[in-house]
Amino acid sequence: MGNGILVYCEFENGSPRKTAYELLQKAVALGAGPVSALVIGGGDTSTLGANGATRVFQVDAPQVASYSTGAYVKALAAGIAASGAATVLAAASSPARDAFPRLSARIGAGFGVEVTDLRNEGGKIVGRRPVYAGKALVDVNILSAVGLFTVRPNSFPVAAASGGSAAVVAVDAGLTDADVDVKVIDRVAPANKAIDLTEADRIVSGGRSLKTKEQFDEVLRPLAAAIGATVGASRAAVDAGLAGHGEQVGQTGKVVNPSLYIAFGISGAIQHLAGMRTSRVIVAVNKDADAPIFQYATYGIVGDLFEIAPLLTAELRKHS
């Protein structure tokens, strides 16, 4: 029987992503044994120990220089075996959504998908996740020897680092070129430098009511910049060409979990709510007083978004 918690830590530009620290600190708070980190590829691992990891298991090989399902699943399995952990945590990112179902089947591990809370019950980790577009919550109990959980980003706070250092343990996953199922031809950096929607703490979203891309940009982006938020959009707005698909929030877009979600001209279709309903504070602005989103909003403003958004932007700039 395994012991402790292993956190799969994703990296970006050579450094751990915020979700790595979020999950390491939560793993320590759970008190279910030693906490270790798993890193696939190169990067600076020095901060992982300060955030709770006692050991860092690292799989570094040419085959994992870029994400590839086959290679990463094999690397994850090798890292888990080397750690001997009973529970594995990962952020609910695009790579994890792709790799973890396959990993679950490969190692025979139970899998809790996109949980938003974790607790320790007698040494066993239990997850909690929203279902039915956030209308209900269910507990996820895993009976297998190893349990896998993907966690929605921003589910837990990140405090200042207070731990020590962690020894790095190199893991040979036996990777070969046959494990690589895609070939990276080129990389193009996104023009938008904003924090990814899935990790953003503040989001300003717009719907089709903004009518044109020019108005979408002129109305929402200055407001988002005033509070350090990332811009999102409903599917209707994306389909109308007001925003890019990478900014779509909802069942067929990105699932977000920010502290603050401001929705302009979004009616509150169930598909959109499925992507943002777990936001801690929801502010809805819509001229239709009967818009469904007001049923879920923490604060609601009935009015013309073209009048309200500039007023909010001006006021927020005074305090930025």
pLDDT, tens only, 137-156: 999 999 999 999 999 999 99
The answer to whether the beta carbons of residues 99 and 79 sit under 8 Å apart is: no
The answer to whether the beta carbons of residues 8 and 88 sit under 8 Å apart is: yes
What residues does 148 pair with on adjacent strands? Answer: 88, 111
Residue with tokens 């900014």: 247
The pLDDT, as a whole number, for residue 320 is: 72
Going 102 to 107 to 108 to 111, the CA torsion angle's sign is negative
Tokens of 31: 């008190």
Q: What is the layout of strands, in order, in the sheet containing 117-121?
A: 117-121, 124-131, 136-141
Of all helices (H) and strands (E), which one includes residue 214?
Answer: helix 213-226
Residue 229 binned pLDDT confidence (cut-offs 50, 70, 90)? very high
The answer to whether the beta carbons of residues 226 and 285 sit under 8 Å apart is: no
Backbone phi, then psi, for 150, in 5-degree steps? Answer: -100, 140
Q: How many CB atoms lie within 10 A of CB 162?
A: 10
Domains of the chain: 5-179 (3.40.50.620), 197-318 (3.40.50.1220)
The answer to whether the beta carbons of residues 152 and 197 sit under 8 Å apart is: no
The pLDDT, as a whole number, for residue 182 is: 84
Residue 22 binned pLDDT confidence (cut-offs 50, 70, 90)? very high
pLDDT tens per residue, range 79-103: 999 999 999 999 999 999 999 999 9
Residue 68 binned pLDDT confidence (cut-offs 50, 70, 90)? very high
Distance (Å, rounded) from C-alpha 316 to C-alpha 320? 6
Q: What mean pLDDT value characterizes the chain? A: 94
Of all helices (H) and strands (E), which one includes residue 140?
Answer: strand 136-141
